[in-house]
Amino acid sequence: MAVEKFQFEVGSLPLSGVRIVDLSWAYAGPSATRTLAELGASVIKIESPRRPDGARALIQDRNESHPDYWNRGLYFAEKNLGKRAMTLDLTKSLGIDAFLRLIRMADVVIESFTPRVMENFGLGFERLVGEQPHLIMASLSGYGETGPRRNRPAYGSALEPEAGITFGTGYLGGPPVKTGLAYTDPISGVLAAGAILHALYEKFTGLRDGPLFIDLAEREAVLPFVGEALAEYQIEGKLPNRIGNRHRMFAPQGCYECLDDGWVAITVRDDDEWRILAQAIGIDGLGLMEMEERRERVDEIDSHIAEYCVTRDRFEVMESLQELGIPVGVVQDGRDLLSDPQLNARSFFYSVDHPVTGERRYHRFIGSSFEEWSMQSTKHAPLLDEHTDQILAELGYSVSEIEEFRFTGVSGNEIASLGRSGPTLDLEWLLEQGGVSAMDEPLGSRIPSVRQSGSSP
């Protein structure tokens, strides 16, 4: 077993030479490893040949029908740039042997199963540390490694309400409304990347000599973001009302429709800003109202702001009011973001050519720029099973042994178990995964032009 022949890519980025084995899937874990890959880490993504990362089926390229649809998921591509990928069946001894060879050369292993899974594979932390005494292992699960819910499967769409976020979103007098983004996933990904970076710092500076286990509960990761609600209940013994786009302190605040069917968000934080805004939109007579009166007359004020905005282009509204010092921003969609002059001036987007879907623009996962490094990955998101033979050869397997991986089904790239989705997520898939419980009736009329706490969504 010539493990010493195994080669990870080495470059000049901060994490060049750091070796990561990635068993995570979907959003949170892959976001963490995409971040680390941008910093130069060599990441090998491992998927089951029978049940690969389900994100491969999400957001299909042009929603066309292809026999290899698992290589066309743009959701997967965005979170897996810069990685290599292989398939291994970890229920078979040959797959476990290859996995342990990887672990012996790795600095980090990350997984996002429920806690029982790695132990069921016979690949728990103690076993892996026996192979690599300095291993950093990060386990991302919905509820963490301990507690009565530890083995309950979890998805970000369900963890968001369990973390207290959904309770606070919605309109006055109405039910809770989900944000539309499973916040536990991106937040957990960022925090996992940060935890791994700190562990690597301790390892390579000599502060820690030995293994480290990172237990990240995705539900707990997002709880600090509802800390205000927790504090309010402890101090005052009451739960906050849902207020839509309004603010508990400032008035007015809301989203207002513009001439081009776009929207702007406007906030007024004090009396001076209100006087400036009132003059700008032609209601000088209301400009002397103080905050308390503005809260009482907010519906009236909203109607004036809406009348002003609906006759103007959204970017015109933003730029003119920003120049006056008013907090205002265009509500941007994906099209706006891709063409945003500020983001493009900072090289936030860059193009990567994919062998199946062609050239696409992707965003950096790290919202910082460094003079010393360019963090634009030139490697496309891996095809299913793309690098298996290459990696197995690097691990010391012969051609005949690699053929055995194929023959026995330990590795492979022909599946039919992912399901499919178009540009919007398939309802049946979401129902199966627990992402939604039912579909609302279609709206019968146009959404109101002023989105506020008293409006219906």
pLDDT tens string 305-331 = 999 999 999 999 999 999 999 999 999
Contacts of 99 by beta carbon, 8 Å cutoff, 6+ apart:
21, 46, 88, 90, 123
2 or 355: which leads in pLDDT = 355
Nearest to 453 by CA among 256, 242, 265: 242
Mean pLDDT of the chain: 85
The pLDDT score that the predictor gives to residue 453 is 39
Average pLDDT over residues 390-419: 87
The pLDDT score that the predictor gives to residue 432 is 55
Count of CA atoms in the C-beta half-sphere (13 A) of 280: 21
Strands 108-111 vs 136-141: parallel, antiparallel or unpaired: parallel
The pLDDT score that the predictor gives to residue 61 is 65
Average pLDDT over residues 275-302: 94
- Phi/psi for 45 (5° steps) reads -90, 125
The pLDDT score that the predictor gives to residue 451 is 46
Average pLDDT over residues 244-259: 93
Superfamily of domain 253-333: formyl-coa transferase, domain 3 (3.30.1540.10)
Task: Provide the token pair at 12.
Answer: 């000049």
Contacts of 214 by beta carbon, 8 Å cutoff, 6+ apart:
136, 137, 138, 139, 192, 195, 196, 199
The pLDDT score that the predictor gives to residue 100 is 97
> Architecture of domain 3-224+349-425 in CATH?
3-Layer(aba) Sandwich (3.40)
Q: Which residue has the tokens 């690949």?
A: 123
The pLDDT score that the predictor gives to residue 180 is 78
- In tens, the pLDDT along 152-201 reads 888 778 888 888 888 888 888 899 988 878 888 989 999 999 999 999 99
Share of the chain above pLDDT 70, in %: 86
Share of the chain above pLDDT 90, in %: 52
100 phi-psi bin (left φ>0, alpha ψ -120 to 50, beta other): alpha
Question: Where in the chain is CATH 3.40.50.10540?
Answer: 3-224+349-425
106 or 365: which leads in pLDDT = 106
- In tens, the pLDDT along 424-455 reads 445 565 555 444 555 555 433 333 344 443 33
Q: Is the pLDDT of residue 416 over 90?
A: no
> Confidence band (pLDDT; 50, 70, 90) for 229?
confident
Average pLDDT over residues 271-281: 96
The pLDDT score that the predictor gives to residue 438 is 55
Average pLDDT over residues 137-155: 90
- In tens, the pLDDT along 329-346 reads 999 988 899 999 999 998
Average pLDDT over residues 223-251: 85
Question: Where in the chain is CATH 3.30.1540.10?
Answer: 253-333
173 or 394: which leads in pLDDT = 394
> Confidence band (pLDDT; 50, 70, 90) for 13?
confident
The pLDDT score that the predictor gives to residue 164 is 85
The pLDDT score that the predictor gives to residue 445 is 35
